Amino acid sequence: MSERLEDIAQAMVADGKGILAADESSGTIKKRFDSIGVTSTEENRRDYREMLFRADEAMKSCISGVILYDETIRQKAVDGTPLADLIKAAGSIPGIKVDAGAKPMAGFPGEKVTEGLDGLRERLQEYHKLGARFAKWRAVIDIAEGTPTWGCIKANAHALARYAALCQENGIVPIVEPEVLMDGPVATHDADRCYQVTEWTLNTVFDELFEQRVLLEGMILKPNMIVAGKNASSQAGAEEVAEKTVRCLKSCVPAAVPGIAFLSGGQSDEEATQHLSLMNELGPLPWKLTFSYGRALQAAALQAWGGKPENVAAAQRAFTHRARMNGLAATGRWTAELEKAA
């Protein structure tokens, strides 16, 4: 595979493929395992992720890249193969989450800024040796009374841009993820307020990326869709979500960006798929629109697996179905009938 940033970025948004987010922190994966009564040990986490990465049909046909957690990129499969090599063998690209999490922002009650820039150059050099060719950094923007503030958006956008520049210096494509939350502590905002804040955030992020000399052709944007907060009195319909999201992105995201890989946020599995497909039906668009889903790709597989070796095949089928549905959505070809035909 080419080591050019532009080529890696294009491969990450290849037609009908998207990105599997398997970078859950130890705390998050523990919550997921608790829900199925499985203890979160290093071995169980390894077994679960190995099961996903060995789902050949899904990995080869629908998954362009996999975002890993620090523990996972260092782990080996039961047969001794590094998990990163399993991903490569399936024709997919290993990636790595590099931020240190969103922490309370001093002087800005209720707002957060993502940390992790200290020592990042050296960590990226190590991750490159371990096989990572892209990385991810997530900023969190919450909507409530009086928030977000300009100070919070600016600080997060600046950190995202510095991270992106460091990635590119080290031959790694940055996924730039500014997430305007739909499921924050209040989350009563409507879709129009989400549009306003997302537009503000994205414009600020691209200003900072330009100032930090980030090559737009060698990055991927991972934004939220334009949806109402989960506690809002009314929710936007699927067509409205698709139309508003595409309109917002067209007004903010330069055409030089090769692709936009959405996060699913708090959407249901099927909603995330339907919204993506409807957006792709609104084409032609200046960039590829695809998925970078975690829970929305994994939830059905996790339930089917339940920590039992005898359930691996059923869990892989569940994962493959969701991957296939999202692969269809990435080219605007998903339908409710195909969803139910499985």
What residues are labeled active site? 177, 222
Q: Encoding tokens for residue 197?
A: 């804040």
Give the whole-angstrom CA distance, residue 204 versus residue 206.
6
